[in-house]
Amino acid sequence: MARVELTGLSQPGPPTLFYEGVATDPILRPLYPEDLTESVAHTAGFLAQYWGGGTAHYSDERGHPRLRARHGHVAIGQPERDAWVHHMLTALRAEHLPPDLEQPMIDYFEHGATFMINQHPDRPDTIPVDPTPR
């Protein structure tokens, strides 16, 4: 896995840029809390830990990331996944990373977002949404 020092990237950085997009997105905005401050901090911490630019601070504070379980209270279908990927990749590309660093991150975000889908309108075995935020 590539090592990316997220704290050394230009400001305001991918998490802030991502949430600027979320704040005005008609599909994603209703899925997030009114105040996005903690969401920005949690995303920044997770990304720093995952990509090797930080410490285990995220897990020390919040436990294992368990992304699917943490987001189980949110109905995520293809439209939500696509909107999320659009804003995350827009934020990532704004950093102008070298391709050997950027591409693994793009792949991770695209695959990870697909993994988070829990609503399939054409399938009766759609995973029920747990209404309890984690």
What are the per-10-residue average pLDDT scores of the chain (134 residues)? 38 77 94 88 77 63 61 86 95 92 93 90 62 51
CATH superfamily of 6-115: Globins (1.10.490.10)
Report the Cα–Cα distance between both ends of the chain, in Å, rounded. 28
Q: What is the pLDDT of residue 131?
A: 52
- Pull the structure tokens for residue 54: 């930080």
The amino acid sitting at 44 is A
Q: What is the pLDDT of residue 110?
A: 96
Q: What is the pLDDT of residue 104?
A: 92
Closest residue by Cα to residue 129 from 24, 40, 31, 29: 31
Q: What is the pLDDT of residue 126?
A: 57
Give me the residue spans of the domains in the chain. Answer: 6-115
The number of beta carbons lying within 10 Å of the beta carbon of residue 43 is: 21
In whole angstroms, give the CA distance from residue 67 to residue 100.
Answer: 25
Residue the block writes with tokens 């920044």: 44
The number of beta carbons lying within 10 Å of the beta carbon of residue 31 is: 16
Give CA torsion, residues 134, 39, 20, 46, to 10 deg: -100
Helix axes 99-115, 78-93, angle to 10 degrees: 160
